[in-house]
Structure 1
Amino acid sequence: MASVLVDSAAFAVLDMQALDEAGFDAGLASAGDELAVVFFWGRDCFNCEIAEKAMLSKPDAIRSLGLKWFHSNVYAHRELSRRFMLHGVPTWFFFHWGKRLGRVTGWHGLAQFETAVKAAREKIGAAQKKL
């Protein structure tokens, strides 16, 4: 069976910054007030490849979500998979000023991803109202 490699084209198309254990928190901080999303993936992950191909098929729709994108190969950076208790990839975590707002596990289509982005933004709005 041929090895399945994650298509790094999505990283370039969506301007995803790579994160490792050492730079994770600083990377998130660089997002400032933007809603940040971290795409956790793994080499030889068939479902990660499917997710990337789906995202690449609608790059304008993905970009229109207004996210600051990051990515991390959890097989290369196992401490991150432990830190976030990942049991499978692909997984996306949403952050605002370093605070975790939600997650998506598996690619279930753009509509489901958009719903998760909306929920994360609602959490930001609710937190700001409390201030």
Structure 2
Amino acid sequence: MSDPRFDPSQVFQAFGMRHVDSQGFDAAVVQAPGADLRCVFLWGQDCYNCNLFKQAALMHREALLELGLTWFEADVYADEPLGRRFSLHGVPTFVLYRSGKRLGRITGWPGLPQFTAAVRHQQEIAENSGQAS
């Protein structure tokens, strides 16, 4: 059972997620300077699985912050063109970018161990190619 005091919107502030939309996505995420690993959290209002991620993220805040991601978020229920851009079949979806390149995506919330492993894999690739943030 979920905590009645749980406010899913707290996750945006807790992780410093910057809101993006279909119109400003490229400028904010793809074309922005830097070699940081960017994670775009695509979600939907009143989405049960999205709220599961938000609650898990708040519970495991320190572990997720240690990953050093730059976070972005977009409600693709409200911004359908952005959802179509990524051919979404479900949310939550997490899309990873570094230095203008789309690295991959995670569809659904796989849990902290699998999410962390996927992010660490991308960080290792960057370190081995000399692009570490």
TM range, smaller chain: 0.7 to 0.9
Is there any run of 5+ residues in structure 1 with no aligned partner, and where?
Answer: 1-5
- Residue from 69, 72, 76 that aligns with 1:70: 72
Of all paired residues, the percent bearing the same amino acid is: 44
Question: TM-score, with normalisation over the residues of structure 2?
Answer: 0.86
Say how many residue pairs are matched.
124
1:112 corresponds to which letter in structure 2? Q
Equivalent-residue separation in structure 1 for 2:40 and 2:34 (angstroms): 14
1:61 corresponds to which letter in structure 2? A
Indicate the residue corresponding to 1:3 in structure 2: none
Indicate the residue corresponding to 1:14 in structure 2: 15
Deviations 1:52-91 (A, max 9, x none): 0000001111100000000010011111111111100001
Paired residues for 1:1-131 under 5 Å: 7-28=8-29, 29-30=31-32, 32-125=34-127, 127-128=129-130
The question of whether the paired residues in 2 share the 8 Å contact of 1:102 and 1:120 is answered with no
Question: Which stretch shifts more, 69-78 or 112-121?
Answer: 112-121
Question: TM-score, with normalisation over the residues of structure 1?
Answer: 0.87
Structure 1 pair 52/122, CA: closer, same or farther in 2 (3 Å)? same
SS in 1 for 2:120: helix
The question of whether the paired residues in 1 share the 8 Å contact of 2:95 and 2:104 is answered with yes
RMSD (Å) for aligned C-alpha atoms: 1.7
Equivalent-residue separation in structure 2 for 1:86 and 1:26 (angstroms): 21
Structure 1 pair 104/31, CA: closer, same or farther in 2 (3 Å)? farther
